[in-house]
Amino acid sequence: MTTQLMKGNDAVIIGALAAGCRVYFGYPITPASEIAHAAARHFPALGGVFVQAESEVAAINMVYGTAGMGVRCMTASSSPGFSLKQEGLSYCAGAELPCVVIDVNRGGPGLGNIAPEQSDYFQVTKGGGHGSYRLITLAPNSAQEMCDLTFLAFDLADQYRTPACLLADGVIGQMMEAVDVPKARPVPFDHSDWAVRGTPETRHLITSIYLEADALEAHNLKLAQKYQRITENEVRFEEYCTEDADLIVVAYGVVSRLASSAIDLARQQGLKVGLLRPITLWPFPSQKIAQLAETTKVFLSLELNSMGQMVEDVRLAVNGKKPVYFVGHCGGKNFGCQEIVDLMKKYL
Amino acid sequence: MKIYEKPAAFYDEFSRKGGNVKTTHYCPGCGHGNIHKLIAEALDDMHLTEKTIFVSPVGCSVFGYYYFNTGHFQASHGRAPAVATGIKRANPGSIVISYQGDGDLAAIGTAETLHAANRGENITVIFVNNAIYGMTGGQMAPTTLLGQVTKTTPLGRQEDLHGNPVRMAEIIATLPTAHYVERVMIGDAKDIAQARKAIRKGLQNQIDGKGYSFIEILSPCPTNWGMTPVDAKKWLKEKMTQIFPVGLLKDTTEGQEGKWYRQFADFVPEKTDAYLEQLVDVGHLASLDGVSAPDGLQCKFAGFGGQGILTLGLMFAQLAMRAGSKVSWIPSYGPEMRGGTANCSVNIAQKRIGSPLAETPNLLVVMNQPSLEAFEASMQPGGLLIYDSSIVEKAPQRKDIRVVGLKASDMATELGNSKVANVILLGAIIAALDLYPIEFVKESLKGIIKKKALIDINLEALIKGYEMAARR
Ligand code: SF4
């Protein structure tokens, strides 16, 4: 195993390379541009493709083209850019195309600023484009996970023929940590029964249009079943000190890192507190949270946004059994560890 | 319309269409039927059907996949050239046709159209210009003629309200990378023969790797023009050609053979591994004899931009990583960035790093006055503060911390390179914290410093700082 100190944004491309992706289409945007920089350096060096697209919209549609051939490909952006990609993502979901999209969440709404936020939870996890669909959403909280979850995203996308997203934040993207570089592995999926490759046998049709009501309903029900299978099989999360916890913080990304330090501090003071960190934001670890609701006394959703987004999913999972509170920061302001400890004391 | 003597590139029956599987969905007198037939015949004659990928847009031609026995992509409105780019780049051996109407190509997809042309994508674009939105029921198109009545220009298109018809072929022809641009029309037999030639040339260019071909085809839409097919053809020839003159606009394909064929290599895991291997410059950790992994360090490095303060933090993190610790390094971001300081947080632990920020550092290294003022108060009692006393004029105030000041910048200048002040400070940190044997640091730095010519001066600086702090 080789280890390298690298930025989370660079680690994304290392993970992608190991997963066999060498096709990148993207548009520059802070704070996600390093991902494009790394792709521009590494993909062509391995005989792959890097295209700086004319727009976010063009980039996701280029992805649609490559993905429709069953070839691994990706794009990355930050919040306003992700908004622009929503139409294309709806098409990718509708046409069932495997691809990977990274969103390094920055401050909004509108132009906002370039500082870290977690205000894209809704637009990523709820399927922000038109129509009924979901995006597999992974939330890394370290440079290693930026690498590993990118790799995983490609596999999940291929396995379920659907777009998979990484929802990261500027801190995780800009932070350098030691990353164990994974070994490359042949792509273990065969898409010859649907992918169009310009060969006699692959003269299939990539589309999301179903004119007849019956046909479109059948297509949607098929998609719904797929999303159900993903919900049943792909939930991932991490628990920290939850066994005896009276208060459980729910947090992802950089906030989960801050919360874990706060829990260490709080435990030193005798507070029984723990952390549930969703690694998949969709599918959301609802069952796990419902279980925890049996034993703990209160939940506290800490997020980098103003009104709470993930907290809605926490509340659905807790289903009124225990109180669920939300505290947020936004605009680039972040939690302090001592602040989190104080919040724990307040809500315990 | 009926297609007689059906080319083999068409399906035998249009079963995807439903209803009558023998006829197309196009209206009588519609130019799409003619154009489809010209394309199908070309695919037949040029033996391209099996390797062609047909990109259908949104518009009347959204159903291209009803007819051609090729691979198909249905693209979102205006994005066919982007989709075609995605296909062609990862599959350069395929033949990619981007078939688009005027709303698709010249309104909602103008950017994609121009930029695919400007990148010289090795594709063939068939642009069906019928001066109106067909499928949505006859609204003004970017190509609608002045005076032309449409659903959204009930009084006719007016220059001062709606602008002029957009001449895409002329615009595309200005791009040096668009090597073949021609406008043809579905008029009489002679016109159609010219259209046939143009389509074939566009496809041949792609086969030959000559790059981007753009064929604009004026095409009647009797339904939305409110004319009989015969009148429609007449209007097309008499009126449309005044604004959209047919003919060759540009052919600079000579000498371009193969130039625009962009290779795409298959994924070979072993090659990727070898590539990743050479990227990693900390392949193996320095010998760990007598080196123990540091733990519980929460560090802040702060100074002016350009002093190498972020690099100092990074070197400090890299040393700890080589010594076997978990490390994180993060540059300042958000509101912290204000006030003239560049700074970074470094966390070092044996097991797990929670927060990557250094809110309450136990090691603070500062290279300017504002940084000292910004962070001194946040330090943990008992922590170590190291500062460059060549620059920081007002000494630290705290009595509950350890303070080491050294004239790093002056010492660096004496050494002959003002840039190594940060490494002098690094030496001082190592000594003051008694972190590692100096040999380990020297060996590691040799691997960490990228410019080999600078290694000696840096090692000298390291020792200077180390000895200076060790003496205290
Ligand atoms: S509406 Fe016009 S373009 Fe569309 S099929 Fe009918 S004649 Fe052709």
Which residues of chain A have a pLDDT value below 70?
Answer: 1
Residue B372 belongs to a domain? yes
| Contact state of A58 with B82 under an 8 Å Cβ cutoff | yes
Rounded distance from Cα A208 to ligand 1 centre (Å): 22
| B138 and B26 both lie in a single domain | yes
Q: Which of A5, A63, A208, A268 to mutate to test the interface with B (most CBs of B within 10 A)?
A: A5
Angle ∠(B454,B458,B460) on CA atoms, nearest 5: 125
Q: What was the pLDDT predicted at A115?
A: 92
Same structural domain for residues B328 and B464? Answer: yes
Pair (B349, B228) in one structural domain: no
- Same domain? For B55 and B147 the reply is yes
Query: Can you give the CATH number for the domain in which B416 is found?
Result: 3.40.920.10
How many whole angstroms separate alpha carbon B170 and alpha carbon B186? 19
Write down which residue in B226, B251, B276 finishes a domain: B251
Q: Which residues of B40-76 are buried (b: 16+ CB within 10 A; e: fewer)?
A: bbbbeeeebbbbbbbbbbbbbbbbbbbbbbbbbbbbb
Nearest to B74 among A42, A115, A207 (CB): A207
Return the closest-CA partner of residue B71 out of B47, B89, B97, B46.
B97
- A336–chain B Cβ distance below 8 A for any pair: yes
In a domain, residue B266? The reply is no
Q: Do residues B183 and B302 share a domain? A: no
Structure tokens at A246: 């009276």
Between CA B469 and CA B463 the distance in angstroms is 10
Specify if B265 maps to a domain.
no
Tell me, yes or no, whether B315 and B453 share the same domain: yes
Interchain pair A4, B74: CB under 8 A: no
Residue-wise pLDDT tens digits, B97-120: 999 999 999 999 999 999 999 999
Identify the residue whose C-alpha is closest to ligand 1 atom 8. B30
Question: In chain A, what are the domains?
Answer: 2-233 (3.40.50.970), 238-347 (3.40.50.920)
Which of B23, B30, B132, B219 is the best mutation target for the ligand 1 pocket, counting ligand atoms within 8 Å of the beta carbon and taking the most? B30
CB-based burial of residue A110 (10 Å sphere; 0-12 exposed, 13-18 middle, 19+ buried)?
Answer: exposed
When CB atoms are compared, the residue of A18, A115, A177 closest to B327 is: A177
Given CB atoms, is A49 within the 8 Å cutoff of chain B? yes
A255-to-A287, B72, B380, B394 alpha-carbon distances in Å: 22, 45, 22, 36
Residue nearest to atom 5 of ligand 1 (CA): B26
Q: Which two tokens stand for residue B118?
A: 């400007």
Q: Which atom of ligand 1 is nearest to the CA of B220?
A: 7
**What φ, ψ does residue A337 adopt, rounded to 5°?**
-60, -45
* Residue B465 in domain: yes
Structural domain of B321: 293-470
Tell me if B82 and A87 make a contact (CB, 8 A cut-off).
no
The reply to whether B201 and B131 lie within a common domain is: yes
Name the minimum distance, in Å, from the CA of A252 to any CA of chain B. Answer: 12
Do both B379 and B454 map to the same domain? yes
Q: Which two tokens stand for residue B335?
A: 């509101």
Output the CA B130–ligand 1 centroid distance in Å: 9
- Give the domain CATH number at B49: 3.40.50.970
Tokens 């290599």 belong to B265
Q: What is the pLDDT of residue A127?
A: 84
Whether chain B has a CB inside 8 Å of the CB on A241: the answer is no
Residue B324 in any domain: the answer is yes
ipTM of the shown complex:
0.97
pLDDT at B72: 97
Final residue of a domain: which of B231, B251, B271? B251
Question: What phi and psi values does residue B384 have, to the nearest 5 degrees?
Answer: -110, 130
- Set of chain B residues whose Cβ sits within 8 Å of the Cβ of A176: 314, 317, 328-330
Residue B57 forms part of a structural domain:
yes
Residue-wise pLDDT for B324-380, tens only, equals 899 999 998 544 444 567 999 999 999 999 999 999 999 999 999 999 999 999 999
**Are B273 and A184 within 8 A, CB to CB?**
yes
Q: Do the chains contact at A46 and B275, CB–CB below 8 Å?
A: yes
Pocket of ligand 1 from Cβ distances under 6 Å: B 26-27, 30, 32, 60, 130, 134, 221-224
Assess whether the previous peptide bond of A163 is cis (omega < 30° from 0).
Answer: no
| In contact, B131 and B227? CB cutoff 8 Å | no
- Centre a 10 Å sphere on the Cβ of residue A338 and count the other Cβ atoms it contains: 14
The C-alpha of A258 sits at a distance from chain B's nearest C-alpha, in angstroms, of 4
Instruction: Using an 8 Å CB-CB cutoff, list chain B residues near A65.
Output: 55, 73, 82-88, 90
Clarify whether residues B308 and B241 are in a common domain.
no
**Mutation to probe ligand 1, out of B24, B102, B130, B133 (largest number of atoms < 8 A from CB):** B130
| Structure tokens belonging to residue B152 | 């959204």
Residue B367 CB: number of other CB atoms within 10 A? 28
Whether residue B307 is found in the same domain as residue B223: no
Cβ contact, residue pair B16, A205, below 8 Å: yes
pLDDT single digits (tens) B291-323 = 889 999 999 999 988 899 999 999 999 999 989
Q: Is the dihedral of CA A313, A314, A318, A320 positive or negative?
A: negative
| B110/A contact by beta carbon, under 8 A | no
Looking at the fold, whether B307 and B395 belong to one and the same domain comes out as yes
Instruction: Please tell me the distance from the alpha carbon of residue B170 to that of residue B156, in angstroms, as a whole number.
Output: 24
Domain count of the fold of chain B: 2
Pick A62's closest partner by Cβ from B82, B94, B355: B82
Q: Judge if the upstream peptide bond of residue A283 is cis by omega within 30 degrees of 0.
A: yes
Same domain, B246 and B299: no
**What is the distance between the alpha carbons of residues A47 and B99, in angstroms, rounded to a whole number?**
29
Domain limit, last residue, from B251, B283, B303 = B251
Interface probe, candidates B177, B276, B312, B347, chain A, greatest A C-beta count within 10 A: B276
Chain A residues with CB under 8 Å of B79 CB are 57-58, 61, 64, 88
Alpha carbons within 13 angstroms on the beta-carbon side of residue B318 total: 27
Per-residue pLDDT of chain B in tens (472 residues, 90 and over written 9): 444 578 999 999 888 887 888 888 899 999 999 999 999 999 999 999 999 999 999 888 888 888 999 999 999 999 999 999 999 999 999 999 999 999 999 999 999 999 999 999 999 999 999 999 999 999 999 999 999 999 999 999 999 999 999 999 999 999 999 999 999 999 999 999 999 999 999 999 999 999 999 999 999 999 999 999 999 999 999 999 999 999 999 999 999 999 999 999 999 999 999 999 888 765 445 556 778 899 999 999 999 888 999 999 999 999 999 898 999 999 985 444 445 679 999 999 999 999 999 999 999 999 999 999 999 999 999 999 999 999 999 999 999 999 999 999 999 999 999 999 999 999 999 999 999 999 999 999 988 888 889 999 999 999 999 999 888 7
Q: Is residue B258 part of a domain?
A: no
Cα(B222) to centroid(ligand 1), Å:
7
Asked if the Cβ–Cβ distance from B356 to A204 is below 8 Å, we say: no
* Residue A229 C-alpha, separation from nearest chain B C-alpha, in angstroms: 27
Structure tokens at B232: 């429609």
CA of B28 relative to ligand 1 center, distance in Å: 8
Within a domain: B31: yes
Q: Which residues of A fall within a CB distance of 8 Å from B279?
A: 4, 14, 42, 181
CA nearest ligand 1 atom 6, residue = B27
Answer whether B378's CB lies under 8 Å from B361's CB.
yes
Give the pLDDT confidence of A129-148 residue by residue, as tens digits: 999 999 999 999 999 999 99
Contact B354 A258 (CB under 8 A): yes
CB proximity B235 to A under 8 Å? no
